[in-house]
Chain A
Amino acid sequence: MRSNRAGWALLTPTLVILAIVGFLPFLYVLYVSFFDWNPFSNQLGMKWTGVDNFRRLVFDGAFLDSLWRTGLFAFTTVTIELALGFLLAQTLVKSFPGRTVFRTIYVLPLVMAPIAVGATWRLLTIPGFGPIPYFLDKWFDIDFRLATFADQAFLTVIAMDVWHWTPFVTLTLLAGLTAMPKEPLEQAQVDGANRWQVFRYLTIPMMMPVLLTVIFIRLMDALRIVDEVFMLTSGGPGTATQFIGIHIYRVIVPKTDYGYGSAMSLMVLYFTIVLCWLLFIALAQVGKQRE
């Protein structure tokens, strides 16, 4: 019908920029991942090792631990955020006095720099003057030391992520709930369906695209968390909060094991893409069913 040339012309600047700062580094990571390359080891330069880096990964306990820890973290936080976010979004659909004030205050953490969120939570948990250790000790007689107890560090990081990101989940689900057609819900109530049935058989299916979108975004970001954790615990104590992003950073920057670190990040990217691709397909399926 019309020439595609103008369309591609409009798309070109975006594609060029993404190619330079997005795709070029990706190709570079791919290239480096086939080499043994550590500038500060005895051997100079890059040594071709084929798929050895990837073979090493499969038996690397530290890497697998970190991967498992990240998965557990992402699954836990996304589940909590989704459940809490859905509950809160539902209370915000109908107007009530104070709703705007609540919403405005509630979404403040959303725009805070992750590094500032980490700083905030660090200030909360410093032994000696942070309120969390102080009150836990005073009221529940709990010895709270983030730098000593692995479980406490892990739970604190989860709490921090839930605090930071549930507002995003709530806002997005609220946008979805607000845009949802009202007639089927009213009709169902007239027909005598109870609240649970309406929720289970109408709200959930109609919200599916939005829910999947939210899971998609949150999962992606939870799997690559670095800044907040770095600021709060620096991955410690030991490796209790050393998520995959921090693990890779440690391998590449302080240890300068470039080849192995590159292979590691490709592996993680591959897992993430497969996961998100599945969600993306699910999203497309739901979209088709609705048409």
Chain B
Amino acid sequence: MKSSALRKALGWIGLYGLWTVMIVITIVPIYWMIVVSARSRVELFDAPTLLIKSFYAPNYIKPLTDPVFQRYLINSLIIATSNALLVTILAMLATYALSRWRLPGADNIFFWTITQRMAPPAAFVLPMFLIYTRVFKIGDWTMFDTQFGLILLYCVFNLPFAVWLMKGIMDGVPIELDEAAFVDGANRWTVLTRVVAPLVAPGLAITFILSWIFAWNEYLFAANLTSVNARTITTGLAAFVSVTGTNWGEMAAVATVAILPALIFLVFVQRYIVTGLTFGAVKE
């Protein structure tokens, strides 16, 4: 008995030891970024201390009161929200179709949509640039450097993922519910919006949030398909590296602002993410 008690105690020590290490490793880089954002340039090059003793506000005030940065932030907000909304609605319609009809070739379409995510993104910078500047052109207006251009483009990355995520959830809604509603005289649209949609609402929420986060975080295309009007916060952040004599404190402040919305989202929805991430791979 004594040895089993000992083993149990060791198990607890191991468990908490492991998690303490993991939490420290997780937190330190983020914490350090906040530390840097709270220091002036002079303070930074003193011996590194991990404590925040004072708060150097200009690092935050300067970018946040700059109209250019304000526009970056607003652009990011508009693009991420519109894209997430569009993706969620389209994914709901598409997965409902995939799960309720036996559409010939649908499986291939399904795999094909996933392959969209595999290509090295840099390969598509050039064609997207040419398509947006030369093909989608009405008079002087082009898709280049517009919020709409990015909203549409991010569908390439978000839609396949959303379809994949929602497919398993949609399959989980028993078809008998649809049929019962049909018997009661409901049409296809009513069934989808009144019967099915409320049941898959948690899945829709996760799809929305993950799409939102991806669109908010994207950099490569935002950097190459915009110039002035539709620049996003990630391109603003990346601009700090190329500038000589980087102001690290300001860069850390902008990075902190850039990760904040996603972190707040995450704390609220984590619980649902755990159940949503099985991708229908586990049958219950």
Contacts and interface: CB of A to CB of B under 8 A. Distances in A.
Interface of A: 2, 4, 6-11, 13-15, 17-18, 20-22, 24-26, 28-29, 32, 87-88, 91, 96, 98, 102-116, 119-124, 126, 128-131, 134, 163, 167, 171-172, 174-176, 178-180, 209-210, 212-213, 220, 223-224, 226-227, 230-231, 234, 244-246, 248-249, 252-253, 258, 261-262, 264-266, 268-269, 272-273, 276, 280, 283, 290
Interface string B227-260: 0000000100110110000001001100100110
Nearest to A212: B281
Contacts of B101: 2, 4, 6-7
A7 B131 contact: no
Contact of B32 (A124, A210, A249, A268): A124
A20 B160 CA distance: 14
Nearest to A96: B15
Contact of A272 (B119, B258, B277): B119
A255 B269 CA distance: 43
Contacts of A223: 118, 120
Contact residues of A: prevailing secondary structure = helix
A202 B164 CA distance: 27
Contacts, number: 280
Contacts of B26: 105-106, 108-109, 163, 167
Given A10-B96, A172-B277, A224 B48 contact: no
B19 interface: yes
Nearest to A181: B284
B217 interface: yes
B55 interface: no
- Nearest first, the 8 closest Cβ-Cβ pairs linking A and B are A265-B123, A7-B101, A113-B217, A249-B122, A25-B127, A10-B97, A111-B262, A28-B127
Contacts of B113: 14, 18, 22
Given A15-B109, A106-B26, A210-B278, A8 B97 contact: yes
B9 to A, nearest CB: 14
A175 B216 CA distance: 25
Given A10-B94, A123-B33, A163-B25, A175 B220 contact: no
A131 B35 CA distance: 11
Interface string B96-128: 111011111010010101111111111111111
B278 A129 contact: no
A8 B43 CA distance: 62
